[in-house]
A and B are shown apart, each in its own frame.
Chain A
Amino acid sequence: LAKTTQPISMDSYEGQEVNITCSHNNIATNDYITWYQQFPSQGPRFIIQGYKTKVTNEVASLFIPADRKSSTLSLPRVSLSDTAVYYCLVGTMNTGFQKLVFGTGTRLLVSP
């Protein structure tokens, strides 16, 4: 399994753009990069997934450089409700029976 490293915590203010970077130096060729969001007292929720370049949906954007050894989750114009823990996972369902292991994540605190 590819090991991921991300900041433990980040602080931001409402209306700002937040970028959370995840390092995954030993990512495998077939691995995808997936981000989850967890609000207090809830289970993690899938927010975005990508393989290379850029992916955008209604919640966030995911930027992946050509070497794929890192990725950046971008949250545009955050609000107080974006306060949550964000997890970066790397892997694929296609390479055998894969465990879905979450690291410590990045705790994002958005202030007024």
Chain B
Amino acid sequence: DAGVIQSPRHEVTEMGQEVTLRCKPISGHNSLFWYRQTMMRGLELLIYFNNNVPIDDSGMPEDRFSAKMPNASFSTLKIQPSEPRDSAVYFCASIDRGRVGTEAFFGQGTRLTVV
């Protein structure tokens, strides 16, 4: 398997524009997580899905952020409208909950810069 695949790797956008980040989890994994990482706030959990269903979105900063998982092989994180304070690295991770323990596999991340 190619691992968790995120796209794009880098995104530069202007304030007010819509941004869509994409994630393809590892085949067979049934949970998917979205994180945001900054120097100030560390690695923050935004939302996670089990079997394509959003379970906890309490980490989503505000209504400008939304996430979907239309099927087991694809998820999106959308920011509309984007603001400079959204600049961060966004990671997607997936887990097979059928296994004991918490071995999550992370993608390479998307570095978002909002100017």
Interface of A toward B, CB cutoff 8 Å: 32, 34, 36, 38, 41-46, 49, 87, 89, 91-94, 97-105
**Within the assembled complex, what's the spacing in Å between the Cα atoms of A98 and B97?**
9
Is chain B's interface secondary structure helix, strand, loop, or mixed overall? Answer: strand
A102, B100: Cβ atoms closer than 8 Å: no
B106, A101: Cβ atoms closer than 8 Å: no
Residues of A within 8 A of B89 (CB): 41
Q: How many cross-chain pairs have Cβ atoms below 8 Å apart between A and B?
A: 69
Assuming the contacts A43-B107, A44-B43, A104-B42, asked whether A99 and B48 have C-beta atoms less than 8 A apart, the reply is yes
Q: What are 19 A-B contacts defined by CB distance under 8 Å?
A: A32-B102, A38-B43, A41-B89, A43-B106, A44-B91, A44-B104, A46-B103, A49-B101, A49-B102, A91-B102, A93-B102, A94-B100, A99-B48, A100-B93, A100-B102, A100-B104, A102-B35, A102-B42, A104-B42
A43, B91: Cβ atoms closer than 8 Å: yes
**Within the assembled complex, what's the spacing in Å between the Cα atoms of A38 and B101?**
19
Residues of B within 8 A of A98 (CB): 102
**Within the assembled complex, what's the spacing in Å between the Cα atoms of A102 and B33?**
12
B101, A34: Cβ atoms closer than 8 Å: yes
| Residue picked from B97, B102, B107, most chain A C-beta under 10 Å | B102
Is chain A's interface secondary structure helix, strand, loop, or mixed overall? Answer: loop
Q: Mark B1-12, 1 if CB is under 8 A from A, else 0.
A: 000100000000
Residue B52 CB within 8 A of the other chain: no
**Within the assembled complex, what's the spacing in Å between the Cα atoms of A45 and B3?**
12
Assuming the contacts A97-B56, A100-B33, asked whether A43 and B101 have C-beta atoms less than 8 A apart, the reply is no
Residues of B within 8 A of A93 (CB): 95, 97-102
Contact of B103 among A43, A49, A103 (CB under 8 A): A49
B55, A97: Cβ atoms closer than 8 Å: yes
Residues of A within 8 A of B107 (CB): 43
Whole-angstrom distance from the CB of A40 to the nearest CB of chain B? 10
**Within the assembled complex, what's the spacing in Å between the Cα atoms of A98 and B95?**
11
